[in-house]
A = this chain, B = another copy of it.
Amino acid sequence: MSKVVARIGMSLDGYITGPDAGAEHPLGIGGERIHNWVYGLRAFREMLGQKGGTEGQDNDVVAEWVARSGAVVMGHGMFISGEVPWGDEPPFHMPVYVVTHHPRETVVKEGGTSFHFVTEGPEHALALAREAAGEKGVSLAGGANLIQQFVRAGLLDELLLHVVPVLACAGTRLFDNLGTDQIEWEKVSVIDSPEVTHIHLRALKQAAG
C-alpha cells in the first residue's frame, strides 16, 4: 500500500509559518524565512516550471522526495491560501485531494495538477489518493492541522523535517494538538547542510490500545 509521507520546513522552535497565515500571507508574516532555502533549488524551480537552479545535497533530498509521490492530500486552509498564488499551473503536477467541508467540482489545471474536493473526511481523501498514486506514495502537503490529524490517527508513515536555524517565535506550530501520549519515531537519516538540517523519520507503529 502507498506510503503516506510529508516533508515540511520548520524553524528550530517548531513553526512552519509566521503569524497571520492565510490568503493574504500564505506562509504567514515573515514565514518565508523558514522556507527560503528551497526556493533556489533546481528541483523546486522545476515544480514551478522554471529552468535552472542550484544542485547539490539539498536539491537531491528534495528531488528524491518529490519523485516518490503520485498524489497529494491537502487541507482546506492550505488550498484556500494557495489557490490564487499557484495560478494556472500549480506546482504539484499530480492529483490533489483537498479535505474540505465545501463540495466543489473537480478543477483540472495545466501541467497535470487536478484538485478534487473530498467532503467525507481525511481517511476517504487518503483512500482516493492511494488509488491515484498507484505504486507511488501519497504526499501529505499540510497544513499543520491536517498533518496533526494524520499523526494522531497513525496514518503518517514518514516525515522529512527541514529544520532551519532560526527561532520564528510566532506563527503556526507543526506539532500541536497531538494529545498527551508520547509518539515515537525511528530516525532514518540526518543530512546537514549550512542552511538546513534534513531529519528523515519513520513512524513506529504502536500496538493499538
A201 to B166, CA, bound (A): 10
A165 at the interface (CB under 8 A from B): yes
A5-37 CB mask vs B (1 if < 8 Å, else 0) is 000000111100001000000000010010000
Are B201 and A183 within 8 A (Cβ)? no
List A residues 151-209 near B (Cβ within 8 Å): 151, 161, 163, 165-170, 173-176, 178-187, 189-190, 192, 194, 197, 199, 201
Residues of B within 8 A of A190 (CB): 190, 192, 197
Identify which of B11, B30, B163, B175 contacts A167 (C-beta below 8 A).
B175
B167 touches A182 (CB 8 A): yes
By the criterion CB–CB under 8 Å, are B197 and A182 in contact?
no
Q: How far is the CA of A180 from the CA of B171 in the complex (A)?
A: 9
Considering the complex, give the chain B residue whose CB is closest to the CB of A181. Answer: B169
Q: Are A165 and B184 in contact (CB under 8 A)?
A: yes
B165 touches A185 (CB 8 A): yes
Q: What residues of chain A have their CB less than 8 Å away from a CB belonging to chain B?
A: 11-14, 19, 30, 33, 151, 161, 163, 165-170, 173-176, 178-187, 189-190, 192, 194, 197, 199, 201
- Supply 13 further A-B pairs (C-beta < 8 A) apart from A12-B201, A19-B180, A165-B184: A12-B199, A13-B14, A13-B175, A13-B178, A33-B182, A165-B186, A166-B182, A166-B183, A166-B184, A169-B179, A169-B180, A187-B192, A192-B192
In the assembled complex, 15 residue pairs joining A and B whose CB atoms fall closer than 8 Å, in A order, are A13-B174, A14-B175, A30-B182, A151-B167, A163-B199, A166-B184, A167-B175, A167-B178, A167-B185, A168-B182, A169-B175, A187-B194, A190-B192, A192-B192, A197-B199
